[in-house]
A = this chain, B = another copy of it.
Amino acid sequence: MLPIAVDAMGGDKAPDEIVAGARRASEQLGIPVVLVGRPGEMGDTGDLAIIEASEVIAMDAEAGSSVRRMKDSSLVRAAEAVRDGKASAMVSAGNTGATMASALLRMGRIKGINRPAIATPIPVPGGTPTTLLDAGANAECRPEWLVEFARMGAVYARDRFGIQKPRVGLLSIGEEAGKGSPFVKESFAGLSDPAWALASDCEWIGNVEGRDVMTSEVDVIVTDGFTGNVTLKTLEGAMQALIGRLLVAIDTDDHTRAAGEALGPALDQMVAELHPDTVGGALLLGVKGVCVISHGSSSEAAMINAISVAAEMVEVEMVRHLTASAS
């Protein structure tokens, strides 16, 4: 396998935790990795290969203009490495918009896909994660793009989670066909055409609601990038609030603190299971290459996960499956 190109300069904890995660993915999991960035700033990179890039796109920089202007940035060079057959995938915890723009401009779109979408797996307690897309690539969508999202989401759910016949739902505010905004109703009509589900070997289950996201009722949820991103961040906030409140409950008195101690390992496992980092980075689906977008706050552990997911998606040939599905 060609190496995974890791943007060493992107993310709140770059380059230290990024490089540490990349080294561990290589040394412990045997995944080939190439770091992309400023050699003098990466610290001890061990035996990892390096692609030099002199510029860094800041986390809050305007995406489009940065990518056009900073041709020697780590993000642009990482995407070019994939395009040029020097890397099999790119992984970044940097500026999300710039990651998308780099991948889109350098790798290009898969034929038949109007707009790439971000697919994010949502943890489901005791079950297989639900794939939500678009989780933020396109703040405004056309109804017909949602059929493309549905087909891409089905490929991803199959390649990543082994779901042979994924159940695909449309995020709305009621289960009946007539529920939702005009955009959702029009999307519902397009998705109700049996042709795409038949061709994608998945099951169209109609509207689903916000309360279904963390359940085993559905495998792939399609929505516009605005609603998807709000949903994702609402979930993150709810997790934080609840875990914070749980720690307060445990801290009530000596009795409850002792109980908290006893519950420690079980709670740690619960938090790990529900933490977005565990399921691994989101993927930009629809470009001609594997592009993993990791959380800006990614730690070393999150990077190992993100690099593993990238390697796995390369191995199963997800991009070939997406291309076949879109044609």
Q: Which chain A residues have a beta carbon within 8 Å of chain B's beta carbons?
A: 124-126, 136, 139-140, 171-173, 179-182, 184, 209-215, 224-227, 229-246, 248-250, 252, 255-256, 258-263, 266-267, 269-270, 273-274
* Number of copies of this kind of chain in the complex: 2
Query: Is the CB–CB distance between B237 and A214 below 8 Å?
Result: yes
A181–B138 alpha-carbon span in the complex (Å): 9
Are the CB atoms of A270 and B249 closer together than 8 Å? yes
Do residues A215 and B227 form an inter-chain contact, with CB atoms below 8 A? no
Do residues B125 and A245 form an inter-chain contact, with CB atoms below 8 A?
yes
Contacts of A232 in B (CB 8 A): 210
Distance A239 CA – B213 CA, assembled complex (angstroms): 12
Residues of chain B with a CB closer than 8 A to A227's CB:
226-227, 230
- Given contacts A211-B236, A213-B234, A237-B213, A173 and B139 within 8 Å (CB-CB): yes
The answer to whether A269 touches B249, judged by C-beta atoms less than 8 angstroms apart, is yes
Could you tell me if B181 and A210 are in contact, using CB atoms closer than 8 angstroms?
Answer: no
Nearest chain B CB to A316 CB, angstrom units: 28
Instruction: List chain B residues, Cβ under 8 A from A244.
Output: 125
Q: Let me know if A246 and B234 touch, CB within 8 A.
A: no
Give Cα distance in the complex from A224 to B184, angstroms. 14
Contact of A230 with B171 in the complex, beta carbons under 8 Å: yes
Nearest 8 interchain pairs by C-beta: A210-B233, A210-B234, A211-B237, A125-B245, A238-B238, A214-B241, A259-B262, A259-B259
Name which residue of chain B comes closest to A228, CB basis. B173
Asked if residues A226 and B180 are in contact (CB atoms below 8 Å), the reply is yes
Nearest CB in chain B: distance from A74 CB, A: 22
